[in-house]
Structure 1
Amino acid sequence: MAPYEALYVQVIDKIRDRIKSAQDRQKSYADQRRKSIEFEVGEKVFLKVAPIKGVLRFGKKGKLRPRFIDPFEILDRIENVAYRLALPPRLSVVHNVFHVSMLRKYVHDLEHVISYDSLEVQKDLTYEETPLEIVERKTHALRNKEIALVKVRWKNHGVEEATWEKEEEIKAKYPELFG
């Protein structure tokens, strides 16, 4: 073996050792935060759905809070991290196998349940947020300009979850609210 080849082998071994130690460090961080979640067949779980992002509310108060729909019974466990659920005929367009991250343990409390009958849930488990009405108006004064704001109440959400949006953006997207 030529001297430069031995040097390359040493460099490659050093890089492999560094990558291995970095992977071990990252794995230890991930393992500390990971929760082992398991469900039994016959148990009930909530199914996570999400509003479509980019409807002016992303990043706003209440927007990032997970939404869950009715408790569904677990029919079957598939591998370690997937479960088959008993979905009603209305959700027949949705595949009935879900990763454990999409499920939450059912705890009997009616405030946690969003009725999926009023939601138009798509195949990718999203639903579109649409505004119902403008609840309030105000002007936010900055140093050099003023911004007109409107408080919008959204479909599938209560008055307490209404959000402040820029009036010009809402007027451009939903002119029917300003009739």
Structure 2
Amino acid sequence: MGDHVFLKVSPMKGVMRFGKKGKLAPRYVEPFEILERVGNLAYRLTLPVSMSGVHNVFHVSMLRKYVRDESHEIDHGTIEVNTDVTFVVEPIRIIDRSTKKLRMKEVDLVKVQWSHHDEGNASWELESDMRMKYPQLFGELGA
């Protein structure tokens, strides 16, 4: 009791669960807290209100142990969540530049650090798209 576990969700073809479809759908979701042991091989979990239609007792084959890691914890106070349970991510700065050589042309890319993410989660984006959507990022560079 008091430990946390991941809950296994079975993917179904054509059904979108947890925002992803097909191969990209997660196999395990959330770390849920164990409330009590029910029988030899079942546990009762604390589920959020959004999953109120799901029975809260699960067989051990549906659970995977969660080892707590401080890097997994998110400070929810800094993130503004919308009513549809989404949040807006804005670019903070450009970390790096690169030119990708394709067969017939070259494509300019920029590595962007996003809000609510650290530098390790920066992504490569097309420079032309970023200049169009976020010109303020390039104003300070003079490029």
Deviations 1:57-111 (A, max 9, x none): xxxxxxx98xx99x78789xxxxxx9554xxxxxxxxxx44367xxx97643211
Identity of aligned residues (%): 43
Structure 2 counterpart of 1:151, one-letter code: K
Q: Indicate which of 96, 99, 122 corresponds to 1:139.
A: 99
- Measured after TM superposition, the shift of residue 125 of structure 1 is 2.0
Alpha carbons 1:119, 1:156 under 8 Å: kept: yes
Q: 1:160 aligned to 2:120?
A: yes
Q: Which runs of 5+ in 2 are unaligned?
A: 7-18, 36-44, 57-63
DSSP-derived class of the 1:139 partner? strand
* In 2: Cα distance, 1:105 partner to 1:124 partner: 29
Letter in 2 for 1:139: T
Kindly provide the amino acid, as one letter, of the partner of residue 176 in structure 1: Q
Runs (4+) of structure 1 moved beyond 3 Å? 42-46, 71-75, 82-85, 104-107
Q: Alignment partner of 1:160: what SS? A: helix
1:126 is paired with a residue whose SS is: coil
In 1, distance between residues paired with 2:91 and 2:83?
22
Report the Cα distance in structure 2 between the residues aligned to 1:129 and 1:105, rounded to whole angstroms. 31
Q: In structure 2, do the counterparts of structure 1 residues 123 and 72 end up closer, same or farther at CA, with 3 Å as the change threshold? A: farther
**Among 108, 111, 119, which residue is 1:148 paired with?**
108
Provide, for residues 106-135 of structure 1, a one-character-per-residue CA deviation record: whole Å limited to 9, x for no partner.
643211111111111122222122111000
Taking structure 2 as the reference length, what is the TM-score of the superposition?
A: 0.55
3-state SS of 2:71 partner: helix
How far apart, CA to CA, are the structure 2 residues paired with 1:120 and 1:105?
Answer: 30
Root-mean-square deviation (CA, aligned residues, Å) is: 3.9
More helix by share: 1
Q: How does 1:4-83 map to 2 (within 5 A)?
A: none
Q: Report the counterpart of residue 126 of structure 1 in structure 2.
A: 86
Is 2:74 the counterpart of 1:114?
Answer: yes
Counterpart for residue 37 of structure 1: none
Unaligned runs of 5+ in 1: 1-39, 47-51, 54-63, 76-81, 86-95
Bigger radius of gyration among the two: 1
Aligned partner of 1:168: which letter? S
Tell me if structure 2 keeps the 8 A contact 1:133–1:154.
yes
